[in-house]
Amino acid sequence: MIFSVSLKAQEYTSPVYPKLGKADTIRITSTNDNGVMIPWMQLNEVYVYANRIFRTPEERAAFNRLRYNVLKVMPYALFAKRRYEQLERDLVTAPEKKEQKALVKQCDKEIKDMFNREIKDLTITQGQILTKLIDREVGRTTYDIVKQTKGGFAAFSYQIIARVVGHNLKSTYSIDEDRDIEAIIRSSGFYQ
């Protein structure tokens, strides 16, 4: 206490802003680094894909056919995802069983009205891809979704019909097994 010590705190320097020009209207975030304002912006993630090399023309044709089929049914899978999520939100808010059944019927009617013609025109392969993509988007198999919304008997009936034409409503999506489909989806621009 006898000796006085002189302390020096940090000195405040006003930030140096970049000079604005005539057409500078883009607003971006900046960071103050020792009094110098450094502008920065976050960029979207960039995927880099190598050109795929096919051994035979048949492999190329098969991949192009798969690409066509995936791109054709992907909008249906995305719609199913959005509609199913909305249905789940509505079912949580509906207190009575009667209201829940009415919501399920309304959802079923909406899907049938919207895609009745288009889904009927899908090929067997496109239908198989659609069931896998629905599992990818929703996180549940098509069989589980039908069983929850329509009941066990309806799901069993649909599964029998699907098995007759070569489908399996219980088929799941695996990134490792379906890596070609995953590569097509990632490079297609659906998730930009």
Classify 7 in phi/psi space as left (phi over 0), alpha (psi -120 to 50) or beta: beta
**Nearest-10 Cα torsion for 139, 143, 144, 148:** 130
Whether this prediction's pTM lies above 0.85 is answered by no
Residue-by-residue pLDDT tens, the chain, 192 positions: 555 656 666 666 666 666 777 776 667 788 888 888 888 888 887 777 778 889 999 999 999 999 999 999 998 888 888 888 888 888 888 778 888 888 888 887 777 777 677 777 888 888 888 888 888 888 888 888 888 777 888 888 888 888 888 778 888 888 888 888 888 888 887 765
Please answer whether residues 104 and 88 qualify as being in contact, where contact means their C-beta atoms are separated by less than 8 angstroms: no
